[in-house]
């Protein structure tokens, strides 16, 4: 297959491109410059307000402004535009592509479910409340417009992706390495996560399996709380994690972003993947961290 990727130079996009190319697929990388010099890239195309996906059998749409950072009015506008408005433009472009991709994978997030405490969540669960949930709902609705012209749409509700050389783990490794790690708030909030290897494997599985459509939770089955995650990471790094960031301090410093991204709880199960037979290589946090942090692994 010829697979187009927006956000191909990013942490997940590059890993997926390498994985899909190794599996025998041709990769079309969409970037702002129109050029991405990587051995796994078959062709580069420019991405601005729209794209030309003609000839692609599948499109994986990952481009978007990072959610991390202080949520000023301008930051929230950039997040919304780069996810909702850009996806609308991409879907419009797919409608005129000749031929159009048969499948669209569109990024979304576990934040779709909002802050749900200890509630067990799967793909059939309703959306939550808050800015991130609102973005995800509109983002997914924009992507699903592609179904009107026969494109199969898969929505990637992704948790925190753990990888060796980027993403959240790279930052956390530095923080914990300095002895500054600790739980956030009560530590009882659930943190959906997934190993980068399983993330890209599951994405390609969604591309290749025609019976997969709609939302797919890209999270590991071994759900953990923030307290459990903190303890496991500190143990793996052999560093203390005595510091505690109180909820009120996080809210004071980061306000809305802290409430949703750091203190919100989503106990998410990868229901579709498990029910349809996908096998995770790293279902449990301890073994996942060991594979990423043990020298020589």
* Torsion on CA atoms 225, 227, 232, 235, rounded to nearest 10: 180
**Residue 25 counted as domain residue:** yes
Helix/strand/coil for 176? helix
Which CA distances in Å does 21 have to 10, 46, 106, 249, 267?
16, 20, 19, 45, 33
> Please, are residues 50 and 92 in contact by the beta-carbon 8 Å criterion?
yes
- Residue 70 confidence (pLDDT): 86
> Please, are residues 97 and 52 in contact by the beta-carbon 8 Å criterion?
yes
> Please, are residues 3 and 188 in contact by the beta-carbon 8 Å criterion?
no
Rounded Cα distance, 184 and 161, in Å: 18
**Residue 259 counted as domain residue:** no
Length of the chain: 297
- Phi/psi class of residue 234: alpha, beta or left (left: φ > 0; alpha: ψ in -120 to 50)? alpha
**Residue 263 counted as domain residue:** no
Q: How does DSSP classify residue 23? A: T
Residue 171 CB contacts under 8 Å (≥ 6 apart), including other chains: none
Average pLDDT for the chain: 94
What's this model's pTM, rounded to 2 decimal places? 0.95
**Residue 258 counted as domain residue:** no
- Residue 297 confidence (pLDDT): 54
**Residue 89 counted as domain residue:** yes
Of 66, 47, 68, 65, nearest to 56 (Cα)?
Answer: 47
Rounded Cα distance, 38 and 40, in Å: 5
pLDDT digit string, tens, across residues 217-238: 999 999 999 999 999 999 999 9
Domain of 51, in residue numbers: 2-166+192-220+268-280
Count of domains for the chain: 1
CATH of the domain at 141: 3.40.50.720
Residues of the chain where predicted confidence (pLDDT) is lower than 50:
none
**Residue 237 counted as domain residue:** no
pLDDT digit string, tens, across residues 139-185: 999 999 999 999 999 999 999 999 998 889 998 998 888 888 899 99
- Residue 218 confidence (pLDDT): 98
For the residues of 118-156, what is the DSSP string, one character each?
T-EE-TTSPP-SSHHHHHHHHHHHHHHGGGGGT-EEEEE
**Residue 181 counted as domain residue:** no
Helix/strand/coil for 266? coil
**Residue 50 counted as domain residue:** yes
- What b/e readout covers 62-81, taking b as 16+ CB neighbours within 10 angstroms? bbbbebeeebeeebbeebbe
Q: How many CA atoms lie within 13 Å of 166's alpha carbon, on the beta-carbon side?
A: 9
């Amino acid at each position: 297959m010829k697979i187009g990727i927006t956000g191909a130079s990013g942490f997940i996009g590059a890993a997926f491109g390498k994985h899909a190319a190794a599996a025998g697929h041709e990769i079309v990388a969409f970037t702002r410059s129109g050029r991405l010099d990587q051995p796994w890239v078959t062709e580069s195309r420019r991405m601005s307000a729209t794209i030309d996906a003609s000839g692609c059998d599948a499109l994986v749409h990952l481009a978007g402004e990072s959610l991390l950072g202080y949520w000023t009015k301008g930051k929230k506008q950039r997040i919304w535009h780069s996810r909702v408005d850009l996806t609308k433009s991409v879907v419009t472009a797919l409608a005129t592509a000749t031929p159009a991709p048969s499948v669209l994978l569109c990024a979304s997030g576990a934040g779709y479910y909002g802050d749900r405490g200890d509630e067990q969540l799967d793909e059939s669960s309703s959306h939550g409340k808050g800015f991130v949930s609102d973005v995800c709902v509109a983002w997914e609705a924009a992507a699903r417009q592609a179904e009107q012209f026969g494109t199969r749409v898969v929505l990637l509700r992704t948790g925190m992706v753990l990888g060796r050389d980027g993403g959240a783990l790279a930052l956390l490794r530095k923080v914990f390495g300095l002895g500054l790690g600790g739980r956030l708030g009560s530590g009882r909030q659930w943190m959906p996560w997934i190993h980068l290897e399983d993330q890209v494997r599951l994405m390609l599985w969604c591309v290749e399996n025609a019976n997969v459509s709609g939302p797919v939770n890209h999270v590991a089955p071994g759900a953990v709380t923030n307290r459990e995650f903190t303890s496991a990471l500190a143990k793996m790094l052999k560093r203390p994690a005595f510091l505690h960031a109180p909820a009120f301090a996080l809210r004071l410093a980061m306000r809305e972003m802290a409430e949703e991204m750091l203190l919100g709880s989503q106990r998410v199960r990868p229901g579709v993947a498990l029910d349809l037979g996908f096998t995770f290589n790293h279902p449990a946090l301890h073994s996942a961290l060991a594979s990423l942090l043990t020298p020589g692994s």
